[in-house]
């Protein structure tokens, strides 16, 4: 897109931290004109200022993607800013960790509103612009949770499975419009402030199982999609391995993950129960990294790999005898 049209106009939702911020900075270095959206105005403006310091033309448009009217206004503002919309990165994602029955229904509902309906609002707002232009790239940030369920995050799993189905349906509807692309991105576990910002109803400190990847790796993949769109992109071998394992043995892999998580919660230190950023933006936005890629995490990663290898050997022996 950038090669054909000069500086592309790129909209990024969820741009105030983590993958969204890394993507904004990557597009700024790539010469894009940026329309950045998130709920937190101060953090969002900090990211826009950072992009401007990298040489990009960037504006911050505070937007709550759970409000469809606000997203429609975002699209109109983007069109007015750049004269067109070339790429829309639908990146908002929140989570609520806890046993399903211990997590308030209002929290489950808010996860679905942000992670599924929010992305649907994005697509509904930008597609008319793409259709008038005859071109455009819609990039949907999903996660490996779109391939395999995440125990203790039931609403998150529901939203990601639903988002994958939504994207597939949308691609089929747009098959007669070769200039319009719907691209899904499935990262493995990424080092962002997301876990710290998210809702936690477990009473235990949360961390991501290793290996944990740099958010800038995801951002680079998104920028590549703006030049060469494709339907499905995974980031990190764990996403590919999860996809394959769930395809071959869905029940077994989900039970294994549930046992791993339950064991982790039994050992983890205590932490406050909190709604996190479900209903309001976090107070400490404007950071890409979450501090999860420590040397201890890398050592734990080797242990996890060893346990997975032993589990696969056990599974092979169990079913090989049948």
- pLDDT, average across residues 74-78: 98
Q: Which of 156, 186, 201, 213 is catalytic?
A: 156
Rounded to whole angstroms, the Cα distance separating 290 from 276 reads 15
Asked if 224 and 322 touch (Cβ cutoff 8 Å), the reply is no
* Residue 300 reports pLDDT greater than 50: no
Q: What are the beta bridge partners of residue 183?
A: 139
Report the predicted TM-score, pTM, of the whole model to 2 decimal places: 0.88
Structurally, the chain folds into a number of domains equal to 1
* Alpha helices, H only, the chain: 2-5, 18-29, 41-53, 68-82, 105-112, 118-133, 154-173, 194-197, 215-227, 237-248, 250-267, 295-320
Q: What is the dihedral of CA 271, 272, 273, 279, to 10 degrees?
A: -120
Full residue range of the structural domain in which residue 203 is found: 2-320
> Per-residue pLDDT for 227 more than 90?
yes
Q: What is the CATH number of the domain that holds 29?
A: 3.40.50.720
Is residue 319 annotated as a catalytic residue, yes or no?
no
CA distances from 261 to 16, 79, 98, 105, 126 (A): 29, 45, 10, 21, 38
Average pLDDT score over residue span 233-254: 82
- Please write the tens of the pLDDT for every residue from 83-124: 999 999 999 999 999 999 999 999 999 999 999 999 999 999
pLDDT of residue 247: 79
């Amino acid at each position: 897109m950038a090669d054909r049209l000069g500086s592309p106009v790129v909209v990024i939702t969820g741009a105030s931290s983590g993958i969204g911020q890394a993507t904004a900075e990557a597009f700024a270095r790539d010469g894009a004109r940026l329309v950045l959206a998130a709920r937190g105005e101060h953090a969002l403006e900090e990211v826009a200022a950072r992009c401007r310091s990298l040489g990009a033309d960037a504006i911050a448009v505070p937007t709550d993607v759970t409000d469809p009217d606000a997203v429609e206004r975002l699209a109109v503002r983007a069109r007015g800013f750049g004269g067109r919309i070339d790429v829309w990165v639908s990146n908002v994602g929140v989570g609520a960790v806890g046993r399903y029955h211990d997590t308030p229904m209002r929290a489950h509902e808010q996860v679905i509103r942000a992670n599924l309906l929010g992305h649907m609002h994005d697509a509904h707002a930008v597609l008319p612009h793409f259709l008038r232009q005859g071109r455009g790239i819609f990039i949907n940030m999903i996660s490996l949770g779109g391939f395999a369920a995440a125990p203790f995050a039931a609403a998150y799993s529901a939203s990601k499975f639903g988002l994958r189905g939504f994207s597939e349906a949308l691609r089929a509807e747009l098959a007669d419009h070769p200039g319009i692309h719907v691209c899904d991105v499935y990262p493995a576990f990424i080092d962002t402030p997301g876990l710290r910002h998210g809702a936690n109803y477990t009473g235990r400190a949360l961390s991501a199982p290793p290996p944990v990847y740099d958010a800038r790796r995801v951002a680079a993949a998104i920028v590549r999609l703006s030049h060469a769109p494709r339907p499905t992109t995974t980031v990190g071998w764990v996403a590919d391995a999860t996809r394959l394992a769930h395809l071959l043995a869905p029940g077994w892999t989900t039970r294994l993950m549930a046992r791993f998580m339950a064991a982790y919660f039994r050992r983890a230190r205590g932490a406050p129960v909190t709604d996190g950023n479900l209903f309001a933006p976090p107070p400490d936005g404007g950071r890409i990294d979450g501090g999860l890629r420590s040397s201890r995490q890398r050592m734990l990663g080797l242990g996890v790999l060893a346990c997975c290898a032993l589990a696969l050997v056990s599974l092979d022996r169990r079913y090989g005898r049948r």
